Amino acid sequence: MSNRLYSALRARYKAAEYEAIADALNFFENPVAVAEHPHIVDTMDILITKLSEAEDKLETLELNFGEHYG
């Protein structure tokens, strides 16, 4: 059961990383497609924060529990 919990958390954090990266790339590569966002820099800052948090959580999970459950 513990391995499944570890795997579920890892998948959650990886998905959050992928989602933030995909959204940020969309802003960088297709700024016209996101024209309805008047505060693009603020929105991108939020995406970078989400990416950073997901990376930090994944690193913490792997560092502290990966050896036993990963």
DSSP 16-57: HHHHHHHHHHHHHH-GGGGTT-S-HHHHHHHHHHHHHHHHHH
Give the structural domain span for 40.
Answer: 2-69
Q: How many distinct structural domains can be found in the chain? A: 1
pLDDT (tens digit per residue) in 8-54: 999 999 999 999 999 999 888 886 655 666 788 888 899 999 999 99
Closest CA to 22 of 51, 59, 49, 45: 51
CA dihedral 22, 51, 17, 3 (to 10 degrees): -170
1 vs 9, higher pLDDT: 9
